[in-house]
């Protein structure tokens, strides 16, 4: 069977699965399971949750990526590939993407500037030393949440601009 025929069969089978949303992936025919899991992996890769290739195998990396997605989307944490998960990945709005990992070593001068600006707003109370530690990261997350900006955790030019340009009302409630 050529690839086009296999995909056509898999899509037909997936359409029939839609009437049975609670069918377990483990109960699917191997060919369908492969295509089904590969589709989930492709969606996870597109959103930054899975590194690697979509191979159709629901291994530990795929389960971890599913759990991360479910956590961010506020879904039940199962770590399992399912029709409901694929539907959520494809159709839920707003689209959920993986938080971007912060840069591991931002320049100390930038960190000092960010610490200083966060301290001015009452979010940071540590030493303005240019070192990225847990106190700095917690202050960044608190500011980003209060300011309604993406929760990236990254200490970069974008964050510095956001802190400097935020309205006067964006201050730590504990200050």
Query: What is the full per-residue pLDDT of the chain (175 aa) written as tens digits?
Result: 566 555 555 555 555 444 445 566 778 888 888 999 999 999 998 888 877 789 999 888 899 889 989 988 889 999 999 989 999 999 988 878 777 654 457 889 999 999 999 999 999 999 999 998 889 989 998 998 899 888 778 888 889 999 999 988 899 887 5
8 A C-beta contact, residue 75 and residue 92: no
Whether residue 15 lies inside any domain: the answer is yes
CATH number at residue 140: 1.10.101.10
d(CA 75, CA 78): 9
Could you give the number of structural domains in the chain? Answer: 2
d(CA 45, CA 74): 19
Q: Quick one: 85 and 120 in the same domain?
A: no
**Cα within 13 Å of Cα(48), Cβ side:** 8
pLDDT on residue 6: 56
Domain that holds residue 137: 108-165
d(CA 130, CA 152): 19
């Amino acid at each position: 069977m050529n690839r086009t025929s296999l995909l056509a069969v898999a899509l037909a089978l997936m359409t029939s699965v839609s009437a049975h949303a609670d069918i377990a992936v483990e109960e699917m025919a191997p060919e369908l399971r492969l295509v089904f899991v590969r589709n989930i992996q492709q969606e996870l890769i597109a959103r930054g949750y899975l590194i690697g290739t979509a191979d159709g195998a629901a291994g530990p990396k795929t389960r971890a990526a599913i759990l991360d997605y479910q956590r961010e989307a506020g879904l039940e944490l199962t770590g399992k590939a399912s029709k409901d998960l694929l539907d959520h990945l494809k159709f839920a709005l707003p689209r959920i993407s993986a938080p971007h990992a912060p840069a591991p070593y931002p320049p100390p001068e930038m960190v000092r500037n960010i610490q200083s600006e966060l301290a001015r707003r009452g979010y940071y109370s540590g030493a303005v030393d240019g070192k990225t530690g847990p106190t700095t990261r917690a202050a960044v997350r608190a500011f980003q949440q209060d300011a309604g900006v993406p929760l990236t955790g990254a200490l970069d030019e974008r964050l510095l601009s956001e802190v400097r340009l935020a309205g006067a009302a964006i201050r730590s409630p504990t200050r």
